[in-house]
Structure 1
Amino acid sequence: MTTALEETPTPPTTPGSGPAPEKSEARSLVDTVFRAREISIGGALVLLVLFTWIANPSFLDEQGVKDLLLNSSILVLLAVGQSVVVLTRNIDLSVGSVVGLTAFACGNFASGTDHSAFTVVLLGIGLGMVCGLVSGLLVSFGKVPALVVTLGMLYVIQGIDHAWAHGEQINAANVPDDVLSLGSGAILGIPYLPLISFAVLAATAYFLRTYRSGRELYAIGSSPEAARLAGIPIRRRVLAAYVFSGAVAGFAGALWLARFGTVVADAANGWELTVVSAVVVGGVAITGGVGSVWGAALGALLLTTITSALVVLKVDSFWTQAITGVLLLAAITTDRVVNVRTTNALRKRSRR
């Protein structure tokens, strides 16, 4: 469960002054709503798992649980990186293409060699950071709308990937065992991938809650003008958010190679909207400044579980997209209602 500090940081105040009562009450309303959303997502997830288990008990057998954790790991990672960007009132639509590029690059680098998993992962993170750096520079210093920049980056990266691959694919037989073991190995029966995703998730949540630069991301998303007047280096923070998102996507690309072994040029194609949906459904406001990476991870886990449940229940995969769309619309509607209620509450208290 998120804390008020994590969701909405306290804006800087001058010495001797305190936060206005009306703003504190408005923030309390927002915090309560979004904490309730995380609880409701967790409840929906539990009910979905129980219903599917009752319909098909094999859903929660040892292999079924492992598959569920493995299938959600990469999406959780991408949701964490995307959340940091969305908190600043921006978006990154290039994450899916970055995963595809880094997965193929890492596979091409490792094929037929004895490179260690650590080296391959570093390559993926490095390539992802370069992609995030380009997007971040254009958005923060070039002041080009994030939607335009990242959509353009999506097509550019896909073009580079396809031109490089020439229709070829990376085969698992050519990938070093050290890399493949990262995707198939386990500790005490728990696969490496979900443990890695949880570690990144916990570290990011701790940074956002504890460090000033993390809290400043919330301030930027809540009110860029107020953040500027408070002396927050907005451009550098937004750039850092994009570099982090790119690094996480590159890391996810290396893990994609470890997980599946066989990689083609369009790996993770179309995942951009799934990642954004997971983040918004998880309670991170698309308008920025509110939410948590824990909620985004819950949203990713919920969407993955829906997909797995529909497969187990032998339901047409079309309904996965339909349900995701409904959840996304409901989340955006909730954000809008909260914003309107908060604005009205501020106006009424200011009149008093």
Structure 2
Amino acid sequence: MTQTAPPSPAPNAPAPTARRAGRSRFGGILRLRELPVAFALIVLVVVTYAANPLFLSPQGTKDLLLNSTIMIILAVGQAIVIITRNVDLSVGSILGLVAFGTGSLFATFPGIPIPVVFLIGLAFGMLLGAINGLLVTIAKVPALVITLGTLYIYRGLSNAWAGGTQYFADDRPEAFGNLSVDTFLGFPVITLLALAVVVIVAVVMAGTRGGRDLYAIGSDPDAAKLFGIPVGRRVFTAFAVNGLLAGLAGVLYASRFNSVGATTGNGLELDVVAAAVVGGVAIFGGSGSVVGAALGAVLLTTITSALAAMRVDKFWQQAIVGVLILAAIIIDRVASLRTARRLRISEARDV
């Protein structure tokens, strides 16, 4: 009885393990939360450009980048908080306080150096964020309730401080206003600053123990405590950093827009949360990335500009944002259920 030798692999054919590794890497890319957001953004830009070629004119592109800048910074800070299974609804009020404070500094101290104004704005925002973090970690009350309260407190302080006063572009130094006008390699300077924030925070979140701890806390706070993670301190830090970034956004807001007053930042918090969720940051915590949140911010601001370019009623912008939020939550829930199912199947096979 003769035996047939198994067929030899074809020359230069990849090994089975290599093929499996390639498929695994490709599958991992397809499962990236940021991919659908990036794809939707590209489709939106292409369709809008086809309808109105001026949409991507040099000035139109610059306006798109500038409109996204402040939202990107706010969304990155909000993503840090949401990843810990919390939320901060006071960011719009923090931005408003810092923006008006920036105008006050220039009006009160005309010769104050611009870097000093940035440092004061960052410290002010960080203080307000730290108050949120302190209340959340000490009172053990859901962050949704705490920050809803501080939203109104900070807004009340802003109204009392500003009253009917507004600071306009003429009240600030020309060099400060030029931050949102000047470009470097074709990109607005403040947009490059926002991109630097995204890169730095993304590296910290992915490459440091503190960043990984935030994901662990969001996934299971009780388990994180058992593993020795200082949950209270990490959550406090997340809120403080979020406040710092809101402070930075407030200073840039004072540079970008013609006026700041008591109503600056009103209603902005919901757009910020929407940007983070649409960008793939799970509202239940534990997953997502600041890069996705930044893409979500760009997508939402681009929707606004695209609808304006196509002369569509502003109502549809709000409707589309609502649909995107629901879609993001549903997709995240389905993905979580599928992951849990795969884990159960894998455990059953091991048994």
TM-score, length-scaled by structure 1: 0.89
1:183 is aligned to 2:180: yes
User: Greater Rg, structure 1 or structure 2?
Assistant: 2
State the SS of the aligned residue for 2:327: helix
| Whole-angstrom distance in 1 between the partners of 2:249 and 2:263 | 14
1:283 is aligned to 2:280: yes
| Whole-angstrom distance in 1 between the partners of 2:113 and 2:181 | 15
- The runs of 4+ residues in structure 1 deviating greater than 6 Å are none
Q: Corresponding residue for 1:73? A: 69
Of 177, 192, 204 in structure 2, the residue corresponding to residue 207 of structure 1 is 204
- CA displacement 1:289-345 (0-9 Å, x = unmatched): 111111111111000100000001111111111000000000011111122222333
| Whole-angstrom distance in 1 between the partners of 2:175 and 2:233 | 37
Q: Corresponding residue for 1:218? A: 215
Alignment: residue pair count? 324
Q: Percent identity?
A: 51
**Pairing of 1:132-281 with structure 2 (within 5 A):** 132-281=129-278
Letter in 2 for 1:178: A
Q: Corresponding residue for 2:98? A: 102
Is the contact made by 2:107 and 2:171 (CA closer than 8 Å) also made in structure 1? Answer: yes
Is the contact made by 1:94 and 1:150 (CA closer than 8 Å) also made in structure 2? Answer: yes
1:51 is aligned to 2:43: no
1:316 is aligned to 2:348: no
Of 277, 289, 292 in structure 2, the residue corresponding to residue 292 of structure 1 is 289
State the SS of the aligned residue for 1:347: helix
What RMSD in Å do the two structures reach over aligned CA positions? Answer: 1.7
State the SS of the aligned residue for 1:111: helix
State the SS of the aligned residue for 1:216: helix
1:94/1:123 CA distance change after superposition, 3 Å: same
Letter in 2 for 1:62: P
Structure 1: tracts of 5 or more residues without a match: 1-27
Of 333, 336, 339 in structure 1, the residue corresponding to residue 336 of structure 2 is 339
Q: Corresponding residue for 1:21? A: none
Of 82, 85, 88 in structure 2, the residue corresponding to residue 89 of structure 1 is 85
Is the contact made by 1:117 and 1:182 (CA closer than 8 Å) also made in structure 2? Answer: no
Superposed displacement of residue 121, structure 1: 1.2
Of 301, 313, 320 in structure 1, the residue corresponding to residue 298 of structure 2 is 301
- CA displacement 1:153-199 (0-9 Å, x = unmatched): 10000000001111211111111122212222222332111100000
Q: Corresponding residue for 1:115? A: 112
Structure 2: tracts of 5 or more residues without a match: 1-23
Superposed displacement of residue 219, structure 1: 0.7
Of 59, 64, 68 in structure 2, the residue corresponding to residue 63 of structure 1 is 59
Is the contact made by 1:34 and 1:283 (CA closer than 8 Å) also made in structure 2? Answer: no
